[in-house]
C-alpha cells in the first residue's frame, strides 16, 4: 500500500457527533440579524438613558424601559407601537391627574377607581389588535405608575405625569433615531415574501381542490393560519415611508382577497361535484380556475374576468341552466376577481402604488372572553392591593405597579398562563442579573460608560430570547424590568435593603399574576369554543334577516373567528374536526346570507323580480333550504329577460341562495340544534 494513501473511512459516530454539534450551534447561536437587533436596542437604551441623565429627568431608567418595551425587529412595528404608546401615556397621564384630584385623600376610593379604570382599558384592548390594544392597556397601567406611585404625595401627581410623558417621548425619539441610523429592517420588506408564500399556498390549495374535491375544514384552517398572522405587519407598514399607506392598503387587500379565493374555490369544487354532466361553460370555467391557480398573468386575469362574466350572463339569460352550474360560474368569477386583487395587493406592497381597493380586516372578539379578562385583571389587582395594604408592606405601591402592568399585558396574549410563566422566569432573571450588575460590577462606580458595558450582556441576552417565539415572554420581561430593578441614577445609590425588597416584590407580583390567571375566572378552550360558536350563531341570526353588514368585511371577520377557533384545541381528533366543520358551516352560511340580502336589495327596484325576492327573503329568515333553492330558481327565470347588469347581480344573489341552501341541507341536524334551520 502506497505511502500517503487514505484507506480509513470517516468514523460514523464522530460524524454524527459533529453533525449534532453543528445543528446545536445553528439552533442556538444567534444569527447576524439577531445581533444587529440587540445592538440597536442596547444603543437606543443607552442613548435614552444618557439623555435622561443629561436632562436630569426623574426616573431616568424609565427612558431605557420605554425603549425596551418598543423593542421590535422591524422599523414599522416599532413606529406603530411608539405612536400608540405615546397616545396611551397621554390618556393615562390625564386620567391619573383626574383620579388623584378626586380621590387623592381616600386610598380606598383611589384603589377602587383605578381597578375600574384598569378593567375598562383591558376590556377595550380585547376588541382592538396589535399596537392599538397595547395603547389601550398602557393607558390603564400608566395610572398605576403615576397615581399609585404618588399615593403618599398626591400634590406631586402633576409633576410625575409630566415627567412620565417626558421620558416616554425621549425613549420614542431615541429608538426612532437609532432604527433610522442603524438601518432597521423595513416591515414591508419582511412582509412581502410572506404574502407571496401565502399567495402560492392559496393557489396550491385551489389546485388541490379542483383535482381532489373539498379538502375539508382542517386543511382550510391550516391555510387560514398562514394568512391571518400577516395582519399585524400589514397595519404596521403605513408609517414607514411616504407611500406606506398605499403599501399597507395593498397588504390588507391581498390578505382579504386570499380569504375570498379559498372560500370561493371551495364552493366551486362542491358545486361542480353536484353536476353529473358539466356543460362546456362549466368546463371552460374550471379550466380558467386551473390556469389562474397555476401561473396567473395580470393581462390574462383581466381577459378571464371578462370571459367569466360573459359565461355567467349567458347562463342567467338562458334561464333554465342547473343552479349548480350558475354557482360554479359565479364562484369561478369571484375566484378570478379575488386573484386580481391579491396580485395587485402584492405589487402595491412591492412598489408602493395605490392598490385597486383598501379592504378592512376586522378582529373577532367574544364578549364573554373580553369581560372575563377585564374582570380577572380588575379583581386580581383589587385583591392584591387589599392584601398589601392589610399587611402594611413597605414599597407596596412599587409592587402594585408591576402587578397592574403584567396583568394588563397578559390579558391580550393568546395564552395568559404561558405568558404568566414567562413573567415569573423573566422577573427572576431580571432580579438576579440586576443584583449581580449592581453589587458585583457597579458598586462604587459612577461612570456612564461602565454602566453601559455592564448592561450590555443582559440586554443582548434578553433580545435574543425575545426573538424566539417560545421564549419571547421571558426575554421581553427581562429587558423591560432589568433597568427598572437596576435603577440607574445619577448619582448611583446602593441601598441593599431597598433593592432586595424591590426584587422580592416584583417576583411576588409575578407569582401573583401566575396564580390569578389560573384561578380567577379562567377561560378553558372548551368555553372559548362555546363562546365563539354562540357569537357566530348570533351573527348568523342577524345575517339571515338582512343585518349581516358588508359581505367582504364579514368574510374577513369570519376568517379571523375561524383562525382563533382552530387554536382552541381540546378533546379527541374527531371532536375537533367536527367542531371545526360546524364552525366553517356557520361562517359559510352567514357570508352567503349577508351577500344574498345585499344583492336582493339592489334588485328590489326591478318590479318583475319582487315576488322571487320576497320568497328568497322569507327562506333566509326561516333558514329553509327548500324555499331558498326554489326562490333561487324563480329568481333566475324572472331575470332571464332583463338587461346584463340585472342578470349579473341576479347570478350573485342566486349563487348565495344556493350556497345557503346546500349548507343548511348538509348540516341540518347541527343547525336544528342551534335553533336556526326549519324542520
Distance CA 72, CA 40 (A): 10
**Cell 484507506 sits on residue:** 7
Q: What CATH number is attached to the domain comprising 309?
A: 1.20.120
Distance CA 48, CA 57 (A): 11
Distance CA 41, CA 459 (A): 8
For the chain, give the percent of residues with pLDDT over 70: 93
Is 457's pLDDT higher than 70? yes
Indicate whether 171 belongs to any domain.
yes
Distance CA 664, CA 276 (A): 22
Indicate whether 26 belongs to any domain.
no
Indicate whether 357 belongs to any domain.
no
Burial (CB < 10 A; 0-12, 13-18, 19+), residue 620, is buried
pLDDT digits (tens, 9 = 90+) for 28-71: 678 888 898 899 999 999 999 999 888 888 777 888 888 888 87
Strands (E), 580-677: none
Q: Same domain for 164 and 234?
A: no
In the chain, count H helices and then E strands.
27, 0
* Residue 391 pLDDT: 75
Q: Same domain for 488 and 539?
A: no
What are all long-range contacts of 476-479, with beta carbons under 8 Å and residues at least 24 apart? 476/71, 476/422, 476/426, 477/406, 477/422, 477/423, 477/425, 477/426, 477/427, 477/430, 478/426, 478/429, 478/430, 478/433, 479/41, 479/68, 479/71
* Residue 6 pLDDT: 42
Q: Same domain for 497 and 529?
A: no
Q: Same domain for 404 and 432?
A: yes
Indicate whether 5 belongs to any domain.
no
CA atoms within 13 A on the CB side of 405: 24
pLDDT digits (tens, 9 = 90+) for 508-521: 888 988 888 888 88
Q: Same domain for 72 and 204?
A: no
DSSP 241: S
Distance CA 204, CA 206 (A): 5
Contact 92, 143 (CB under 8 A): yes
Q: Same domain for 167 and 312?
A: no
* Residue 432 pLDDT: 94
Domain that holds residue 624: 525-677
Indicate whether 581 belongs to any domain.
yes
Indicate whether 394 belongs to any domain.
yes
601 or 361, which is more confident? Answer: 601
Q: Same domain for 436 and 579?
A: no
Q: Same domain for 194 and 176?
A: no
* Domain limit, last residue, from 469, 489, 519: 519
Q: Same domain for 480 and 598?
A: no
Indicate whether 12 belongs to any domain.
no
Q: How many domains does the chain have?
A: 3
pLDDT category at 22 given cuts 50, 70, 90 is low
pTM of the full structure: 0.84
Distance CA 465, CA 460 (A): 9
Distance CA 509, CA 398 (A): 10
* Domain limit, last residue, from 459, 494, 519: 519
* Residue 235 pLDDT: 79
Q: Same domain for 168 and 156?
A: yes
Indicate whether 572 belongs to any domain.
yes
Q: Same domain for 345 and 461?
A: no
pLDDT digits (tens, 9 = 90+) for 387-405: 877 777 667 777 888 888 8
- Omega prior to 491 cis, within 30 of 0: yes
Q: How far is CA 108 from CA 105, 114, 115, 144, 512, in A?
A: 9, 10, 11, 14, 21
Distance CA 167, CA 142 (A): 13
* Domain limit, last residue, from 491, 519, 547: 519
Q: Same domain for 208 and 326?
A: yes
For the chain, the 3-state helix, strand and coil shares in percent, each to the nearest 5, are 80, 0, 20
Q: How far is CA 315 from CA 275, 320, 335, 340, 521, in A?
A: 15, 8, 18, 23, 56
Amino acid at each position: 500500500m502506497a505511502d500517503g494513501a487514505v484507506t480509513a473511512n470517516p468514523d460514523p459516530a464522530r460524524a454524527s457527533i459533529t453533525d449534532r454539534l453543528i445543528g446545536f450551534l445553528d439552533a442556538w447561536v444567534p444569527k447576524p440579524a439577531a445581533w444587529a437587533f440587540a445592538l440597536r436596542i442596547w444603543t437606543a437604551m443607552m442613548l435614552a438613558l444618557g439623555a435622561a441623565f443629561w436632562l436630569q429627568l426623574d426616573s431616568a431608567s424609565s427612558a431605557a424601559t420605554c425603549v425596551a418595551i418598543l423593542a421590535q425587529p422591524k422599523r414599522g412595528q416599532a413606529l406603530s407601537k411608539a405612536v400608540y404608546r405615546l397616545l396611551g401615556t397621554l390618556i393615562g397621564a390625564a386620567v391619573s391627574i383626574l383620579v388623584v384630584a378626586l380621590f387623592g385623600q381616600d386610598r380606598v376610593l383611589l384603589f377602587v377607581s383605578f381597578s375600574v379604570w384598569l378593567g375598562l382599558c383591558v376590556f377595550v384592548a380585547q376588541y382592538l389588535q396589535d399596537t392599538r390594544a397595547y395603547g389601550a392597556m398602557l393607558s390603564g397601567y400608566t395610572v398605576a405608575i403615576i397615581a399609585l406611585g404618588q399615593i403618599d404625595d398626591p400634590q406631586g401627581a402633576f409633576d410625575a405625569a409630566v415627567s412620565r410623558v417626558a421620558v416616554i417621548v425621549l425613549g420614542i425619539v431615541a429608538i426612532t433615531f437609532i432604527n433610522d441610523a442603524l438601518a432597521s429592517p423595513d416591515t414591508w420588506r419582511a412582509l412581502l415574501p410572506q404574502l407571496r408564500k401565502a399567495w402560492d399556498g392559496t393557489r396550491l390549495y385551489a389546485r388541490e381542490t379542483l383535482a381532489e374535491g373539498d379538502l375539508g375544514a382542517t386543511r382550510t384552517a391550516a391555510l387560514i393560519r398562514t394568512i391571518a398572522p400577516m395582519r399585524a405587519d400589514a397595519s404596521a407598514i403605513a408609517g414607514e415611508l411616504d407611500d406606506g399607506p398605499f403599501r399597507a392598503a395593498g397588504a390588507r387587500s391581498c390578505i382579504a382577497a386570499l380569504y375570498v379565493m379559498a372560500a370561493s374555490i371551495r364552493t366551486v369544487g362542491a358545486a361542480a361535484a353536484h353536476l353529473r354532466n358539466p356543460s362546456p361553460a362549466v368546463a371552460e370555467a374550471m379550466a380558467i380556475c386551473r390556469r389562474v391557480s397555476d401561473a396567473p398573468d395580470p393581462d390574462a386575469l383581466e381577459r378571464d374576468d371578462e370571459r367569466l362574466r360573459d359565461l355567467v350572463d349567458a347562463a342567467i339569460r338562458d334561464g333554465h341552466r342547473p343552479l349548480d352550474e350558475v354557482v360554479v360560474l359565479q364562484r369561478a368569477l369571484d375566484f378570478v376577481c379575488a386573484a386580481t386583487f391579491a396580485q395587485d395587493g402584492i405589487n402595491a406592497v412591492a412598489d408602493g402604488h395605490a392598490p385597486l381597493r383598501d379592504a378592512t380586516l376586522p378582529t373577532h372578539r367574544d364578549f364573554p372572553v373580553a369581560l372575563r379578562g377585564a374582570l380577572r385583571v380588575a379583581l386580581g389587582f383589587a385583591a392584591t392591593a387589599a392584601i398589601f395594604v392589610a399587611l402594611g408592606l413597605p414599597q407596596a405601591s412599587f409592587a402594585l405597579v408591576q402587578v397592574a402592568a403584567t396583568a394588563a399585558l397578559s390579558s391580550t396574549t393568546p395564552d395568559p398562563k404561558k405568558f404568566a410563566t414567562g413573567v415569573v422566569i423573566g422577573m427572576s432573571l431580571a432580579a438576579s442579573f440586576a443584583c449581580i450588575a449592581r453589587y458585583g460590577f457597579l458598586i462604587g462606580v459612577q461612570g456612564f460608560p461602565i454602566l453601559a458595558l455592564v448592561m450590555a450582556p443582559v440586554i443582548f441576552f434578553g433580545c435574543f430570547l425575545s426573538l424566539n417565539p417560545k421564549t419571547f415572554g421571558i426575554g421581553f420581561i427581562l429587558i423591560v424590568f432589568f433597568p427598572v430593578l437596576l435603577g440607574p441614577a445619577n448619582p448611583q445609590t446602593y441601598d441593599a435593603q431597598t433593592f432586595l425588597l424591590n426584587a422580592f416584590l416584583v417576583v411576588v407580583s409575578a407569582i401573583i399574576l401566575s396564580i390569578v390567571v389560573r384561578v380567577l375566572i379562567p377561560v378553558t378552550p372548551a368555553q372559548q369554543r362555546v363562546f365563539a360558536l354562540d357569537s357566530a350563531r348570533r351573527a348568523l341570526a342577524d345575517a339571515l334577516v338582512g343585518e349581516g353588514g358588508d359581505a367582504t368585511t364579514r368574510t374577513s371577520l369570519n376568517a379571523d373567528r375561524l383562525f382563533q377557533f382552530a387554536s382552541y384545541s381540546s378533546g379527541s381528533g374527531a371532536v375537533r374536526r367536527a367542531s371545526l366543520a360546524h364552525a366553517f358551516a356557520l361562517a359559510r352560511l352567514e357570508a352567503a346570507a349577508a351577500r344574498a340580502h345585499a344583492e336582493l336589495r339592489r334588485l328590489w327596484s326591478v318590479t318583475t323580480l319582487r315576488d322571487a325576492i320576497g320568497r328568497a327573503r322569507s327562506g333566509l329568515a326561516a333558514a329553509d333550504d327548500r324555499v331558498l333553492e326554489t326562490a333561487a330558481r324563480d329568481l333566475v327565470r324572472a331575470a332571464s329577460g332583463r338587461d346584463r347588469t340585472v342578470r349579473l347581480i341576479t347570478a350573485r344573489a342566486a349563487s348565495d341562495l344556493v350556497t345557503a341552501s346546500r349548507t343548511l341541507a348538509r348540516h341540518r341536524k347541527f343547525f336544528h340544534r342551534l335553533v336556526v334551520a326549519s324542520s
